[in-house]
Amino acid sequence: MTSKGARGMSEGSVRSRRSASEAGTPGASSAPGDDDGRASGAVGQGDDPATDAGSDGQDGRPGADDATVVVGEGRVAALVREALGGRGPERAPAESNDLAAPWVEGARTVVVVAPAGEFGIRALKGETRRAFLVEQARRVARAAAAHGVRQVVAVTSAMVHGASADRPVVEDAEPVSPDAAGFVADLVAFEEALADELDLVDEPVLLAVLRPAVVVGPEVDTILTRHFEAPRLLVVKGSERPWQLVHTDDLASAVRLVAAEGRSGAFTVGALDEHGEPDVVTPAELVERTGLATVSLPAATAFGAAERLHRVGVLPSPASDMAFVVHPWTVSAHGLHEAGWAPAWSSAECVDVLMDGVRGRIAVGGRRVGGRDAAALGAAGAAVALLGTAAIWRQARRR
């Protein structure tokens, strides 16, 4: 299914072709899934393009938009689907008795987007989010194999590699974290189910897995973007957290490149600077760009508060989710950059897009500043930041 090998390095600056004001204004939605078990899995690393593909696609290569189907729920999936031609269902349907599958007929590439901590997505009644994602992965794999699809491209998140205070830059070749929990473990289980199911098919189907940094875009609302809805940004002492962000436009262009060239393997997705290093916004730059002050807590205090909120049912996700807003997990994206991928949005511009969306939601509902609003935020980092800010205000009033 997937061979192992090529991964490369390239240098180049982030070239902006659009302004943040073009991104639109997001709206609010409801909470993400709440399964907090563990899973592990692995996908082979980025390979050279397939050389024996047909020529019905863009530039004579497979993966052109008119031969691409995008499956997935949530705003990120919707934006990728729109960018790649608009074809595909939110959910892969169960196979019919006669094996007909109009949604995949004629496709060379099926893109399946797993929601990474997005709000507004619910599992079917009686299902956990993980069970639903695993079944979707299996349905996509079976449909691809049965209908002559040459390639499956999965979009998950670089969060599957984990985050920690001393975490080095994530390389394409790295395995997923064995300690994944919450919605991140759901993503790992999804990747594993897709790879396992494709390993069972008679005719080889290429599998590429794209794992982006923090994704932003019009109306994208995730556990990570909610971090910026608290009155202050949470930081934990002893951890420097640079922010690398990816616009959905650039995520779609990365999918398009991988599909068009028939590539397989695992690829991290993120912009690089002119020195070939991850393009990031530092904590100081983040404060200046967002206009938000920080609240700094010891790691034990912050994670302890998040765990208590989860235990009493205030937060749907475990405290471990908070690691992804207070610890680094920037990516190298060497494979994509060597293949010629050039993102249009820098991380700084993505912060502007994110804040435009946050301001839009605050303009409607008001900034969340009360103790009751911790549950409304639904994200551990933002909730702890909110409670920490409330404590600071109480201390100030007593003086």
Q: What is the pLDDT of residue 265?
A: 97
Whether residue 381 is predicted with pLDDT greater than 70 in this model: the reply is no
Whether residue 47 is predicted with pLDDT greater than 90 in this model: the reply is no
Whether residue 294 is predicted with pLDDT greater than 60 in this model: the reply is yes
The tens digit of pLDDT for each residue in 238-292 reads 999 999 999 999 999 999 999 999 999 999 999 999 999 999 999 999 999 999 9
Q: Are 307 and 247 in contact (CB under 8 A)?
A: no
Residue 213 CA to residue 158 CA, distance in Å, equals 6
Q: What is the pLDDT of residue 121?
A: 83
Among 17, 9, 11, which Cα is nearest to 273's? 11
Rounded mean pLDDT of the chain?
A: 79
Higher pLDDT, 386 or 187: 187
pLDDT above 70 covers what percent of the chain? 71
Q: What is the pLDDT of residue 364?
A: 42
Q: What is the pLDDT of residue 397?
A: 44
pTM of the model: 0.81
Among 259, 138, 255, which Cα is nearest to 199's? 138
Higher pLDDT, 230 or 6: 230
The tens digit of pLDDT for each residue in 323-338 reads 999 999 999 999 999 9
pLDDT, average across residues 160-185: 94
Q: What is the pLDDT of residue 44?
A: 56
Q: What is the pLDDT of residue 28?
A: 38
Q: Are 299 and 237 in contact (CB under 8 A)?
A: yes
Residue 357 CA to residue 361 CA, distance in Å, equals 6
Of 158-172, 243-257, 321-335, 377-391, least confident by mean pLDDT is: 377-391
Give kind and range of the element (H or E) at residue 77: helix 75-83
pLDDT, average across residues 159-183: 95
Whether residue 152 is predicted with pLDDT greater than 80 in this model: the reply is yes
Confidence at 35, pLDDT banded by 50, 70, 90: very low
Number of H helices, E strands in the chain: 11, 9
Contacts with 376 (C-beta within 8 Å, 6 or more apart), sequence order: 368
Residue 204 CA to residue 390 CA, distance in Å, equals 56
DSSP code for 340: T
Q: What is the pLDDT of residue 46?
A: 58
Q: What is the pLDDT of residue 266?
A: 98
Among 154, 151, 153, 135, which Cα is nearest to 95's? 135
Which two three-digit tokens encode residue 309? 């909120």
Residue 95 CA to residue 99 CA, distance in Å, equals 6
Q: Are 15 and 342 in contact (CB under 8 A)?
A: yes
The tens digit of pLDDT for each residue in 67-103 reads 999 999 999 999 999 999 999 999 999 876 556 678 9
pLDDT, average across residues 216-239: 89
Confidence at 176, pLDDT banded by 50, 70, 90: very high
Helix (H, G, I), strand (E, B) or coil at 356: helix
The tens digit of pLDDT for each residue in 179-211 reads 999 899 999 999 999 999 999 998 899 999 999
Q: What is the pLDDT of residue 97?
A: 59
